[in-house]
Amino acid sequence: MKANELDGYRKSLLAEKERLSAALEHLHAENPGAENEDALDLSSLEQHLAEVGSITLDREMDYSLEDVVQRELGAITNALERIEQGSFGDCASCGAPIAHERLAALPWASLCIDCKRREERS
């Protein structure tokens, strides 16, 4: 991967990390049962997480938004580490390069689409 491409991914990862860290701070600052949830813009955050598709928001499951944000932050941190190690953009399972379109949508993706589909089926 070219250095300028890598740099672009690093920038979007850092921006996303900042956004999620800020969201997490809001979640921590909030008192349970506080009325003013709108101020936190949680629904738009949830929608964002669902749109980027990295995490399935399963309404049947007892997930908390904080868990979801933590998981995504973990994935972003891993991706930043892979950039440092020079393995960014390679599938963690089969080693094939991950498609640029996939990385553009999900810069923290660690699996190529084939391995991801295989994982989801199993």
Q: Which of residues 42-101 bind Zn ion (CB under 5 A)?
A: 91, 93-94, 96
**How far is CA 67 from its chain centroid?**
12
Of 34-42, 69-77, 101-109, 112-120, the segment contacting Zn ion by CB under 5 A is 112-120
Question: What residue type is assigned to position 104 of the chain?
Answer: A
- A 10 A CB-CB count for 111 gives 19
Q: Does 112 bind Zn ion (CB under 5 A)?
A: yes
Give the total of residues touching Zn ion (CB under 5 A): 6
Six token digits for residue 16: 């996303």
Six token digits for residue 31: 């008192």
Reduced to 3 states, what is the DSSP secondary structure of residue 106? coil
Q: Tell me whether residue 49 or residue 108 sits nearer to Zn ion (CB atom).
A: 108
* Shortest distance, position 118 Cβ to Zn ion, whole Å: 8
List residues binding Zn ion (CB under 5 A): 91, 93-94, 96, 112, 115
